[in-house]
Structure formats: C-alpha cells, structure tokens
Amino acid sequence: MFSSNGTTWKTILILAIYTFIVLVCWEKFPKFAWTEPINPKFSTESSTVSTTSKSPKKLNVTIYAATTYYHDLINSDFVLRRCPEMKNFCKVTNKFSDADTADAFVFHSRNFYETVSFKFQILFKRNFPSLTLPLLKNIRKPNVPWIIWNIESPSHEKLPGEKNLFNWTMTYRRDSDFSARYGALEKFIKTANISLEGIWKYKNKTATWLGSNCQTPNNRFRLVQRMIQEGLEADIWGSCGKPTGLCDGVLKQTEPCVLDLIRPYKFYLAVENSNCKDYVTEKFWKSLEDRMAVPIVLRRETVQDLGVPDSAYIAVDDFETLDEFIQHVIKVGSDKEMYLKYREWRKDYRVVFDNGFYGWCQLCKRLQDPEEVGRNRRSYEDVERWHSFEMCDDNYTIKFIT
C-alpha cells in the first residue's frame, strides 16, 4: 500500500499539516452566520444618508486581498503604484490575520478558486483542495463589500459562477463599479508647444505585431496573415512569428526590449485576442504612450468611448475592404505630413498607463467615505452572466479573411 520511497507518507504528513493550519485559522475568528437565503447585500441598518451632517472620513482603511494576482502576492506597494499617496490611510494586505478587521475583500477572478495561501503550494510543490471560500464565507460581515477583480475578456477568463456573492465589480468595462482600465488620456491645461519631427526621423519600418497567442476566438492571426498577403508590409514577432529572445511572452509587453523592438515601426497592429465591449489592453495604450506607433484596431466602436481622439488611431472597419485599409496605411506611412497628423493629439494629451490597477485607488477613496459606501450598496446576482460572451463579437473578423 505504501511506496518504499515514502512518497505516500510524505503526502499524508503534508495534508495533515495543511489541515491543522486551516483549522487554526478557522477558530481564530468569531463566526458571523448569514440569515437564509444567503444574499450578501450590505446591511440596510443606518443606510439612510443624512442631509444635515457628513460622517467623518475613516482615518485608516484596510483591504484584504483574498487571492493572489496570477500567483503574485498582493499588497499596497503592488497595487497602489498609481496612487502612492493613498498608502497614507489605505492598507492592502494579503495576511489572513487582517481579514476580520478589513473594510473590503478583493478577489482576482483568475485565482478565485486557489488555495488558502499560494505559499503552501510553493513550499510543498503541489496543489491542495481549496478551502478559501468556505472559510471566508464563515467570517463574512454584512457591511464589508466583496469585490471581483478581472482584466481579461470573457473569451479568455470567465468570472466565478457563485451567485449573489459579490457587491462590486472591478474590471476593464466602463460600467464596472471600479475601473480596471489598462490606460487613459489626460488632457493638458493648455496645448503644449512640442515638435513632432523627431518621431518621423526614426520611423523606418511600416507595421508590426507582437503575438504570443496565435489561436484566438476572433482569428486575429489569420487576419494579420491576410493583411500581409494583400500587400501590407508587416513583421510578426513572438510565438506567432520571429523569435524575440528575452522579449517573448505576454508578460514582457512592457519590457524595454519590446520598446526597442517596436519603436522603428510607424504602425502597430493592436488587435486584441477577442472583440469585446471596452476591451482595450496594453497593446493599444503602449503604442500611444512610448512605442510611438500609430495603433491599428479592428473596430472603432471599441475605442471611441474611451476619450481617445479619432485621429490618434486607424480602425480597419472604417474601410469597405481590406485592400482599401491597406492602401490607406501605405499612403499615410509614406507621407510625413499625413503621418504626423496622427500624432497631433500629443500636444493636448498625455497617456496614463494603469495596466488594470487604477480601480484600487478608487476603492481606497470610496472606503474612506462611509456615506459613499452607503450610497453604493448593491449585490450582483450573477457576475458570470454579466461578463459573458454576449459582450463579444468574435465573428466580425471573418468578413476580412474569407
């Protein structure tokens, strides 16, 4: 029954230690039972907002990160880089000992079903059954909101199917409670007196695409291949094309080597892995920010409500045919005056690259104000359906590749 190398005994010992740790944590806090049916809407007690006096702001806010972020531990330094001043009153912690006094719980969707602590997986080099959710449900308090955090499209990442569990959402969608946007433009007080000539000088190549995922629901790889077949001068880098060495992989999109690779190109094919409502990632925003390449998107409607001037990018669906689109890119790329018109926005705006963390700043600010929390009491019956394929149109690409 037991192997000679003691592997089975080792497994039993590890599980025993793990169970002991969980039981200790379980008994550490008092229990807060929900009345049936379990429906985590905020308590309605004292929910009426006073019109005669304003509640004082909380001097200290604690947010419990109930999961990891792609297996990275979450803390204040990690998620408040966009707003370091928030750390004066807002603490983001991954320590379970802080859960009982936390003002909010945040769950990253990709890691929602992970174990109590990823540290144990690293230590013992194996996965354990997930006991996180039952444990946290057992200590949940009525006035402490639970937030689901997600930066992926529905075709790449579904939200948890747990019903009536979350009070607020933090995603890239504009109708989320908090914004997990990848980027934004901030307008200058007055138009800057800058020269755009330098951008043109080092642009000696036409277009490029850096792709690590070649099989996507919207067939973007086939679309890029068809563009090249139809006459677009474009280089494909990454897993879908030429190897880039140390720059390979989606996690390297913000590395300096990627910047050096893309900067000589006039255009960047910022085609996402799926065509979904408001889904605009670092591919687009980094092109605007420091890659200095005019981004090419598939559909204008995906970008047009994000506060980006229409003249800052090119949309494939502005043209009746793929050939018309390609001829326009060739014409703009060969005419300095036309090309620099796509850079005029730089005199009025600057790019703010958030990469999905901006919502944490908003969350800290809201939790500091009890009245603001009270005005935003809600519970989502089904976040999985809210973040569904209904928000996507991945078949749109077919018209250009058939």
DSSP single-letter state for residue 134: H
Q: Are 50 and 117 within one domain? A: yes
Residues 139 and 239 in one domain: no
The answer as to whether 22 is a domain residue is: no
Question: What pLDDT, on the 0 to 100 scale, is given for residue 248?
Answer: 64
| Residue 230 clears pLDDT 90, i.e. is over it | yes
Task: Tell me the CATH number at 260.
Answer: 3.40.50.11660
pLDDT (0 to 100) of residue 244: 80
Give the separation between CA 337 and CA 316, rounded to whole angstroms: 21
Give the highest mean pLDDT range of 12-26, 150-164, 252-266, 327-341. 327-341
Whether residue 2 lies inside any domain: the answer is: no
203 plus 321 within the same structural domain: yes
Say which residues have a Cβ less than 8 Å from residue 77's Cβ, sequence separation at least 6: 87
Residue 6 lies in a domain: no
Angle (CA) 221-227-228 rounded to 5° is: 95
Whether 386 and 258 map to the same domain: the answer is no
If you search the block for the tokens 């000088």, which residue do you land on?
201
d(CA 303, CA 298): 10
Which pLDDT belongs to residue 293?
95
140 and 74 in a single domain? The answer is yes
Per residue in 41-75, pLDDT (tens digit) is 433 333 233 333 466 788 899 999 999 999 899 99
Interatomic CA distance for residues 124 and 120, integer angstroms: 6
For residues 208 and 337, state if they share a domain: yes
Looking at every residue in the chain, the average pLDDT score rounds to: 83
Determine the Cα–Cα distance for residues 235 and 227; give it in Å rounded to an integer: 11
Domain extent for 272: 185-353
Q: Does the pLDDT of residue 37 top 70, yes or no?
A: no
Q: What is the DSSP string of 251-262?
A: GGTTSHHHHHHH
Range 184-213 average pLDDT:
92
**Residue that has been written with the tokens 């300095």 in this structure:** 336
Residue 9 lies in a domain: no
DSSP assignment letter at 50: P
Distance CA 183, CA 60 (A): 28
Q: How far is Cα 332 from Cα 339, in angstroms, rounded to an integer?
A: 5
Percentage of the residues of the chain whose pLDDT score is greater than 70: 80
Q: Which two tokens mark 378?
A: 């809600």
Sign, CA dihedral 250-147-31-95, equals: positive
pLDDT of residue 219: 92
Residues 171 and 274 in one domain: no
Residue 135 covered by a domain: yes
CA atoms of 41 and 378, how far apart (whole Å): 6
Question: Is the residue at 262 inside a domain?
Answer: yes
Count: domains in the chain:
2
Same domain, 222 and 364: no
- Omega before 243 within 30 of 0, i.e. cis: no
Burial class (CB in 10 A: 0-12, 13-18, 19+), 138: middle
Beta bridge partners of 104: 63
Higher pLDDT, 266 or 33: 266
pLDDT at position 116, please? 46
Residues in contact with 79: Cβ distance below 8 Å, sequence separation at least 6, in sequence order: 65, 69, 92, 357, 360
User: In angstroms, rounded to a whole number, what is the distance separating the alpha carbons of residues 335 and 287?
Assistant: 20
Amino acid, single-letter form, for residue 165: L
- Higher local confidence (pLDDT), 15 or 141: 141
The reply to whether 285 and 326 lie within a common domain is yes
Contact 48, 377 (CB under 8 A): no
193 and 170 in a common domain = no
- Residue with tokens 């969980």, as numbered in its chain: 22
pLDDT at 360: 98
Q: 164 and 48 in one domain? A: yes
Q: What is the pLDDT of residues 300-318, one digit of tens each?
A: 999 988 999 999 999 999 9
pLDDT at 47: 29
Flag whether 14 is in a domain.
no
Q: Tens of pLDDT along 82-93?
A: 999 999 999 999
Which of 277, 335, 348, 339 is closest to 308 using CA atoms? 348
193 and 332 share a domain? yes
Question: How far, in whole angstroms, is CA 260 from its chain's centroid?
Answer: 24
> Are the C-beta atoms of 227 and 234 separated by less than 8 Å?
yes
Strands (E) located in 96-218: 104-108, 146-149, 168-171, 178-179, 183-187, 205-210
Name 269's bridge partners.
296
Record the tokens describing residue 308, joined without a space: 């980006």
* 289 domain-assigned: yes
Q: Inform me whether the pLDDT recorded for 349 exceeds 80.
A: yes
